[in-house]
Each structure stands twice: as C-alpha cells, then as structure tokens.
Structure 1
C-alpha cells in the first residue's frame, strides 16, 4: 500500500464547519469543570490543605526549594526543553514556508509556534496583573505575608506577587496545542498530543508545588489559559487554512 501524502492527510482532516458539539466539549465543559475544581481549591480550602501536606512531609520547611532535581533538572531544564522544542517547530515552519512540497504543513506548524508562544505569553501577562503570592511567601509556610485571595483587596503596603497563574507550568501545558495540531494533520494522533502537554505541565507544576512556589489552583488556571488560547488559535487556523471545496 502506498503511503498517503501529507497534503492529503491535512486536507482530509479539515471539517467543513465547527459544530456546536465541538465547542461544547472543548470549551464549555472544560471551563465548567475548571470553575468547579477552582472553587474547591481556592474557596473551600483545597489549595491550603494540599500545600499543608507537602509542607508537613518536607519537615515544615520547603526542603526541596533549592534541590537540584526540582530547581535545575525540572525548573531550568524544563524551560530549556520547551524552548528547544519550540525552536524545532519554528525551524520546521520556516522550512515548510520555503518549500512547496511542505505547503500542507505550513499553517499547522505555524499554529503550534503561535499557540506555544501566546499560551506562555498570556500566562506571563496574567501573573503581572493578579498579584497573588506563592506559598513560600506566606506566614503559614514560613514567609512574611498574609494570604490575600484572588478577588480580595490587597493592602497598599504589601509587595506585589507574581505567582498566579503558574509560569513554569505553562512551558509544559502550552503543548496541549499538540492536540489541535493533530486535529489539523491527523486526528488519530490527538490523544497522544494531549498527553504530551498534560504530562509535561503536570511534572513542571508538581515540581514547583514541592518547592513551595505554587498552589495547585495556579497550575489549574495555567492549563485552562493554555487550552483556551490553543482552542482559539485552532479555530483561526481552520478559517485561514481550510481547503476550498
């Protein structure tokens, strides 16, 4: 059997229109689930309970805050790994736009580059606007500040926080865009692509929780942000790259 040309795979994967059920499954239901889990974590005390357990297991201090595995291998190494993967995607994108044989891959590869870049960028922007503290900043965990909720009024004399959503986890969760990349090129790959993003984000996020850098809700909203950005760009990619019928 002859291999199917890439152009055929890409062209056959485009739907004529995005059905309402797709938006329900990929936008409405994930947001409802995120809001419910967020209520349990941020309002009902789940964040503090989980952080209490980690803090207790580490001897009532963030013993892994400066550990080699969490700081250098996962935190710094994870950033470089994500940056390297983004560079590879960018080089492949340039190659596709320069060579006619790769024409079918142009928009899907550009989509991945933009989704990863915008996903991490939006998370970074939100961090500068929300002004929430890391666990290690709080008196409950050996810091100097009292906890201030997301929508609570922050005292004017309290230094600004930059911990919500979780920045490092975005270097992993931004790759949930591989789910939508697969929908553009070969839908059968979509669950593998999603698994890559979820696993990378979960590893990066949990390592930061072990260091006292984030609550679980910080990682949750990083995932929601990256997923929403990836979905929005996917809809744009469909509009600009769908073959004429």
Structure 2
C-alpha cells in the first residue's frame, strides 16, 4: 500500500506521520490516563484481583515461586523479546534499514523509561505490603511518605516486567502507514504480551493490575514522543 498523501517518506524510508495521527494519540493517552488514575486511586479492583492469588491461611502468594510462571513468563518471554530486538537491531544496521533501527531503539526506550520510573518509585510490591503478609504500608499513587510510615523497599511502580511486552508496540512504527493493518496488529500484540506478562506478575504478588496498565501507558507515550523527535530531526536535516 502506498503512503498516504499526508505522509512524507524521506531519508531512506523514514516516515513523517501527519499531525492528525499525533492528535488522536494524545487524546487516547489523556483518556487512558484519566481511567488509570481512577483505578489507581480507587484501588478496590487492584486489591480484589491480587487477593484472588493470596492465601490468607499462609499469609503468602502460593504462585510466587511457581516454576512455570518463573521460567516461561518471567524469563523465557522477556529474554526472547530482548534477544529478538537485539538481532533485529543489528540486522537493520547491517542492511542499512533506518526504519527497523528506529523501531528497535524505540522498543528499548520504552522499557528504559519504565525502568527509570520504577527505580525511583516509593511504592512497594503487593507481597511486601502489610495487607498481604508483608510489613510495608500501602501508598496511593500520589501519596507521600508520612513520618513513622514504613513504605518498604519501594521500586515497584510501574510494572517493569510487563513493559518488555508492551515495548513490542514499537513495531507499529516499522509498518505504518504502508501496511496499517499489520502495524495495528503489532500494536495489539504488544498490548497482549504486556498484559499477559504483567498478569503473571500479579499472580505472583509482584504487581497490581494498575502497575501494568501504567507501564503500557508510559511505554506508548515514550515511543510516540521519541518517534516525533526523530521526525523533527529528520526534517531539520532535510
């Protein structure tokens, strides 16, 4: 499919997407942010879902050390995505394919942004909270640590593991707009992988659902912003 009239393709196939595309994405992200803020603040859904995997009698998450969740969800899926991205990046460099290179860089940027946010977070994982057998206090999204309150180890928001799956959304920029259906399939594949990988962590007591939803939000936002910056640099060099 040829590129749309509103889309410029310059400098080795770099796509310059129309402003209407970014407007739609900004509106989508704003709507998602409102929804996720509500879910994070009114946290009954988070606690209810996590509670399904918590055993009150033993004060523990029975699936925490589940071999299949640890091997397939926590290791195999993550390492497969990382290895595939690295191979694709070097293949793009070898073939001098800027679109493939940019897509793989965006994939890495998405996870890096979530990793930075997670490393500076004061929010602890469910398995560390007093409500689930731990000792840490639960904190709302924008709540600060009060005197005498033990926030625990923190570093649990947003969901780092799920961000690796969500990062696959970067493939969207590899195929859009020449193959828009494939591009959106890749976007949905990223959503699916992120939610599957994230829910595996919910089952283990490692994250709340909202942690993973916010991970996806930050990944897509960072990828959009970075691709837009690539476009600006490309136009400036032109």
Say yes or no: TM over 0.5: yes
User: 1:100 maps to which residue?
Assistant: none
Change (3 A) 1:126 1:16: closer
Change (3 A) 1:83 1:188: same
Shift of 1:60: 6.0
User: 2:65 maps to which residue?
Assistant: 66
Q: Mind listing any 5+ residue stretches in structure 1 that lack a counterpart? A: 5-9, 98-104
- CA shift digits 1:30-85 (9 cap, x unpaired): 22223223313433522112212332699863111000111111101122111111
SS of 1:37's equivalent? helix
In the superposition, the TM-score normalised over structure 1's length comes to 0.82
Q: Is the 8 A contact 1:89 1:112 kept in 2?
A: no
Q: Is the 8 A contact 2:40 2:141 kept in 1?
A: no
Supply the distance in 2 between the matched residues of 1:148 and 1:162 (Cα, whole angstroms).
12
Shift of 1:24: 2.8
1:176 lines up with 2:169 in the alignment: yes
Supply the distance in 2 between the matched residues of 1:218 and 1:165 (Cα, whole angstroms).
5
1:136 lines up with 2:135 in the alignment: no
1:18 lines up with 2:18 in the alignment: yes
Q: Is the 8 A contact 2:170 2:223 kept in 1?
A: yes
User: 1:43 maps to which residue?
Assistant: 42
Shift of 1:138: 0.8
Higher helix share: 1
Q: Mind listing any 5+ residue stretches in structure 2 that lack a counterpart? A: 3-7
Q: Is the 8 A contact 2:114 2:158 kept in 1?
A: yes
| RMSD, aligned α-carbons | 2.9
Aligned residue pair count: 228
In the superposition, the TM-score normalised over structure 2's length comes to 0.84
Q: Is the 8 A contact 2:172 2:184 kept in 1?
A: yes
